[in-house]
């Protein structure tokens, strides 16, 4: 599944793109922002595969936003002004969508993105299909951890602590963004700046907190609440 964010200073346009992402099964919406300035920190700290970015925004344009990132995700630009198309492709955009955007045109751009990822990257589904485990270096040992046994991962500055079902937590020198990129997106979700949870291990939610059976309470922050709620709504009766 391709992890996406949407950025647009027009609330209706943002809602439309976010809605398109949510109803496309190959995509996962992990964030939506009304300005590029709001999105910068999120992109720096989280694994994002694809961004839908409006070009003509105040304060920081979509083009300048992408150029400012050291290692930017792939991007599909959206705009009401066709003259930006050539400049958009100069920053290696996958595609360019002219507003108003119909779902058919949106899907054509998504197909281009999927083609690029299949040729150039090893996505989480491929990793999961070949390996159901990770090797983690902790102190002077290398520890094998089954992915399905991970309950949650806690970020602790430049370290992460991996909590599993039956074994003690494992601490390793690794960023949250890097480990998130290796986990299968359909099973793991970032719910807080400091927490990634295994969705298959979530059994109880209380007041915007995920409760595990050993009385661990993991907060779902405002930044990630929308994506988590979308996941819950798929199975809510």
pLDDT digits (tens, 9 = 90+) for 181-193: 888 888 899 999 9
Please tell me the total number of residues recorded for the chain in this structure.
Answer: 237
Examine the pLDDT at 45 and tell me if it is beyond 50: yes
Joined together, the tokens standing for residue 127 give 């990793």
- Res. 130 pLDDT band, cuts 50 70 90: very low
Tell me the range of 10-14, 24-28, 89-93, 230-234 where mean pLDDT is highest: 10-14
- Segments of 107-166 assigned E as strands: 133-138, 141-146, 150-156, 159-164
- Segments of the chain assigned E as strands: 2-7, 27-33, 50-54, 74-79, 95-98, 133-138, 141-146, 150-156, 159-164, 170-173, 188-192, 195-198, 204-205, 209-212, 216-219
3-state secondary structure of 129: helix
Please state, in angstroms and rounded to a whole number, the distance separating the CA atoms of residues 1 and 4: 9
What pLDDT, on the 0 to 100 scale, is given for residue 85?
Answer: 54
**Which residues fall within 8 angstroms of residue 19, CB to CB, at 6 or more apart?**
none
Among 20-24, 55-59, 100-104, name the one with the lowest average pLDDT. Answer: 55-59
Domains and CATH numbers, the chain: 2-121 (3.40.50.2300), 127-233 (2.40.50.1020)
- Residue whose C-alpha is closest to residue 65's, from 74, 53, 76, 83: 53
**Which residues fall within 8 angstroms of residue 150, CB to CB, at 6 or more apart?**
162, 163, 164, 183, 188, 198, 201
- Res. 123 pLDDT band, cuts 50 70 90: very low
Mean pLDDT of 167-177: 89
Of residues 86 and 173, more confidence is placed in 173
Examine the pLDDT at 36 and tell me if it is beyond 90: yes
Mean pLDDT of 40-69: 90
- pTM, two decimal places: 0.66
Mean pLDDT of 51-55: 95
- Res. 14 pLDDT band, cuts 50 70 90: very high
- Kindly calculate the radius of gyration of the chain based on its CA atoms and give it in whole angstroms: 18
């Amino acid at each position: 599944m391709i992890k996406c964010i949407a950025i647009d200073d027009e609330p209706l346009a943002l809602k439309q793109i976010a809605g398109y992402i949510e109803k496309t099964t190959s995509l996962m919406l992990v964030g939506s922002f009304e300005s590029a300035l709001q999105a910068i920190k999120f992109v720096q700290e989280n694994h994002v595969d694809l961004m839908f970015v409006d070009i003509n925004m105040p304060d920081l344009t979509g083009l300048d936003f992408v150029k400012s990132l050291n290692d930017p995700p792939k991007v599909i630009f959206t705009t009401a002004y066709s003259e930006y198309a050539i400049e958009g492709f100069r920053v290696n955009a996958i595609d360019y969508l002219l507003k108003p955007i119909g779902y058919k045109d949106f899907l054509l751009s998504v197909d281009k993105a999927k083609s690029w990822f299949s040729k150039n990257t090893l996505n989480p589904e491929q990793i999961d299909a070949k390996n159901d485990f990770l090797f983690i270096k902790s102190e002077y040992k290398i520890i094998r951890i089954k992915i399905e046994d991970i309950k949650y991962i806690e970020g602790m500055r430049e370290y992460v602590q991996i909590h599993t079902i039956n074994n003690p937590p494992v601490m390793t020198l690794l960023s949250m963004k890097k480990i998130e990129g290796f986990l299968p997106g359909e099973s793991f979700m970032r719910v807080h700046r400091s927490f990634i949870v295994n969705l298959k291990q979530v059994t109880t939610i209380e007041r915007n907190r995920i409760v595990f059976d050993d009385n661990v309470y993991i907060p779902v922050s405002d930044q990630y609440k929308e994506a988590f709620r979308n996941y819950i709504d798929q199975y809510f009766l």
